[in-house]
Copies of this chain bind each other. A is one copy, B any other.
Amino acid sequence: MDAMDVDAALFDVFGTMTDWRSSVSAELAVVGARTGLTADWAAVTDDWRRLYRPYLGKVVTGAMPWRSLDDLHRLMLDEVLPQHGLGALGEAERVDLVGAWHRLRAWPDAAPGLEILHYSRLITGTLSNGGVGLLARLTKHAGLRFDCVLSAELAKSYKTDPQVYLTAAGLLALEPHRILMVACHPDDLEAAARVGFRTAYIPRPLEWGPDAPPVKAPAGVDLVAEDVPALARVLGV
């Protein structure tokens, strides 16, 4: 592809721009210390996150009516806690922990990379399963500067539903091929490509922690970059 032949770059957020695992584990550990409960907090986090795709998938297939990601995170949490002997955790703690997903830390390259892109001619945005409010809070908390916050919520669905990508393109008044989807998840990029988006893969080998098996780079993407500043360089901005 012509390196600069897009008008917008839309970014996945959970995993691609933020380190959900260490952030949520740390908040779980704080709640544990406060309540006197102990567990393998990284394992709780991983199990919580493993329910993500099954739950969102129910919404995409229509098996469950649309609910906000906060609501779904709560349902997943209620399912995971007893599996780790944490069923005694109270209502206030559960509400607090759902909010942990609003307070994720960015990967160190993400904020400086977005600043570079902000000062280019490209429109930058999120395209995340997080809701608009969650994303506004998260990007502000994490220091991630985007020109706009786009969410699967605006299509009342979740990725990888094609309507999520097409709704974003419609709101930006851009043809899909003028938009670059940036993610560390092959299924997100494949779904974006199916509706005509260009795609960039950024590997995040630490997404599932240092002991996770290596992720294979997806075939068929337009660009691969090691991090966000490298993406800006490849895009020629």
A139 part of interface (Cβ distance < 8 Å): yes
Provide the residues of chain B in CB contact with A145, threshold 8 Å: 145
Task: Please determine whether A131 and B68 come into contact, CB atoms closer than 8 angstroms.
Answer: no
Task: Please determine whether A132 and B148 come into contact, CB atoms closer than 8 angstroms.
Answer: yes
Copies in the complex: 2
Closest Cβ–Cβ distance, residue A6 to chain B (whole Å): 14
Cα distance A28–B131 in the bound complex, in angstroms: 40
Task: Please determine whether A140 and B123 come into contact, CB atoms closer than 8 angstroms.
Answer: yes
Interface positions, chain A 123-165, Cβ under 8 Å from B, are 123, 125, 131-137, 139-140, 145, 147-150, 153-154
Segment at the B interface, from A43-51, A168-176, A216-224: A168-176
Task: Please determine whether A123 and B148 come into contact, CB atoms closer than 8 angstroms.
Answer: no
Task: Please determine whether A173 and B123 come into contact, CB atoms closer than 8 angstroms.
Answer: no
A227 part of interface (Cβ distance < 8 Å): no
A118 part of interface (Cβ distance < 8 Å): yes
A78 part of interface (Cβ distance < 8 Å): no
A207 part of interface (Cβ distance < 8 Å): no
Provide the residues of chain B in CB contact with A149, threshold 8 Å: 147-149
Q: Which residue of B131, B137, B171 is within 8 Å of A133 (Cβ)?
A: B171
Task: Please determine whether B154 and A147 come into contact, CB atoms closer than 8 angstroms.
Answer: no
Interface positions, chain A 43-67, Cβ under 8 Å from B, are none
Interface positions, chain A 8-63, Cβ under 8 Å from B, are none
Contacts A149-B148, A149-B149 given; indicate if A172 touches B140 (C-beta within 8 A): no
Cα distance A116–B9 in the bound complex, in angstroms: 27
Q: Which of A147, A148, A171 has the most chain B CB atoms inside 10 A of its CB?
A: A148
Closest Cβ–Cβ distance, residue A45 to chain B (whole Å): 23
27 contacts between A and B (CB under 8 A): A70-B173, A123-B133, A123-B136, A123-B137, A123-B140, A125-B136, A131-B171, A131-B173, A132-B148, A132-B171, A132-B172, A133-B171, A133-B172, A133-B173, A133-B174, A134-B173, A136-B147, A136-B148, A136-B172, A139-B147, A140-B147, A147-B149, A148-B148, A148-B149, A149-B149, A153-B171, A154-B154
Top 8 A-B pairs ranked by shortest CB distance?
A: A136-B148, A132-B171, A133-B173, A148-B149, A133-B172, A136-B147, A140-B147, A123-B136
